[in-house]
Amino acid sequence: MIQSLRRNVSIYSAIASTAAKARLAYNMWVWADFFATIISMFIFVYFWRAVYAGETTLSGLTLAQTINYILLARLLAPLVETRTIYFFGYMIRQGQIAVELTRPLDMQLRVVVETFAELATFLVQRLPLFLLAWLIFGLQLPSNPAVWIAFFISLILGQAVLFLFDWMFACLAFYVTETWGLSVVRIGVGSFFSGALVPLVMMPGWLQNIAAAMPFAQAMSVPVSFLSGITSLADAPRLWTIQIIWLAALLILSRVIFSITVRKVTVQGG
């Protein structure tokens, strides 16, 4: 038991560091991303200033709170874009799935480890952008370490929820082989209902209900609301419980779906 745990830690930590290295192989991409994100922050900040013209609060949020939230949402937006769905489609279309399935690894564990390693690398690469957001737009970050802890816990739980949700959709690739369209739709819907574009509290009640029924907010709105000061620390235990329930349900469901659909695999190209 302990031995197999040690073996797994040794294997999957090596996979994590490889995924991080592979991501760092593309430096140009980082600069392009910096540029695009700065532009998008400008657009969003001026948009919200225009919306607030003459108003002091909207849905209980001040302009400063909204801008703070939206800057953080812009900085973290790529976290609700999925790579899993596209990755599955690519693997199956190219027949690479054959190679992946001959590795002595739990495929889901391996992909989640890689995804999280990439996310962590991504966040570190984006640190200079946080600094710029502070310099240019006056981004406010909390000084209370407890808030940061609440943020990171809910971020990790929420990202795991989103990963498992995407995993289930990714399994569709075993049937349709082409998942590009699916991943475009998923990113559009996900950005909107995660609160990456508009704070969820500003949405009409029925839209908020829909958003709550979907897992996207868990990965974005919930953690970012801690960091931007919209959610107070007192709400943390309740929010974490909801996240853990999502996580447990999706973990079981996604594993069952994978083990059924993987039997459908027909490896392309002989």
Partner 1 sequence: MSVIEVRELTKVFKIPKKEIGLTGAIKALFMPKYEQKTAVDRVNFQIDEGEVVGYIGVNGAGKSTTIKMLTGILVPTSGHARVLGRDPHKERVANAREIGVVFGQRTQLWWDLAFIESLNLVARIYQVPETRYKKLLDQFAEMLELKELFHVPIRNMSLGQKMRAELAATLIHEPRVVYLDEPTIGLDLIVKERIREFIKEQNQTKSTTVVLTTHDLGDIEELCKRVIIIDAGRLIYDGPIETIKQQFGKYREITFETIHSSERVTLPSGAETTHVEPRRLTVRFDRTLTTASQVAAALMNQIEVKDFSLSEPDLASIIKQIYNGALNREAA
Task: State the nearest-atom distance from the C-beta of 18 to partner 1, in Å.
Answer: 5
Q: Of the ranges 78-86, 104-112, 137-145, 213-221, which one interacts with partner 1 (CB under 8 A)?
A: 104-112
Q: Does residue 101 bind partner 1 (CB under 8 A)?
A: yes
Amino acid letter, residue 264? K
Q: Of the ranges 89-97, 198-206, 214-222, 225-233, which one interacts with partner 1 (CB under 8 A)?
A: 89-97
Residue number with CB closer to partner 1 (7 or 49) = 7
Q: Does residue 197 bind partner 1 (CB under 8 A)?
A: no
Tokens at 138, concatenated:
């006056």
Residues counted in the chain:
270
Taking the C-alpha atoms of residue 197 and residue 70, their distance in angstroms, rounded to an integer, is 7
Q: Cα Rg for the chain, rounded, in angstroms?
A: 20
Q: Does residue 99 bind partner 1 (CB under 8 A)?
A: yes
Taking the C-alpha atoms of residue 167 and residue 163, their distance in angstroms, rounded to an integer, is 6
Q: Of the ranges 29-37, 94-102, 190-198, 230-238, which one interacts with partner 1 (CB under 8 A)?
A: 94-102
Task: State the nearest-atom distance from the C-beta of 126 to partner 1, in Å.
Answer: 20
DSSP string across 171-238: TTHHHHS--HHHHHHHHHHHHHHHTSSS-GGGS-HHHHHHHHHSSHHHHTHHHHHHHTTSS-GGGHHH
Residue number with CB closer to partner 1 (14 or 43) = 14
Q: Of the ranges 99-107, 182-190, 228-236, 246-254, which one interacts with partner 1 (CB under 8 A)?
A: 99-107
**How far lies 29's CA from each of 18, 19, 25, 198, 225, in Å?**
18, 16, 9, 27, 29
Strand, helix or coil at 53?
Answer: coil
Total chain residues near partner 1 (CB under 8 A): 28
Note the Cα 119 to chain centre separation in Å: 8
Q: Does residue 270 bind partner 1 (CB under 8 A)?
A: yes
Residue among 9, 18, 62, 152 that touches partner 1 (CB under 8 A): 18
Q: Which are the contacts of 267, defined by CB distance < 8 A and separation ≥ 6?
A: 95, 97, 98
Residue number with CB closer to partner 1 (11 or 38) = 11
Q: Does residue 59 bind partner 1 (CB under 8 A)?
A: no
Q: Does residue 14 bind partner 1 (CB under 8 A)?
A: yes
CB atoms within 10 A of CB 45: 19
Q: Does residue 176 bind partner 1 (CB under 8 A)?
A: no
Binding interface with partner 1 (CB under 8 A):
7, 10-11, 14-15, 18, 21-22, 25-26, 94-99, 101-106, 263, 265-267, 269-270
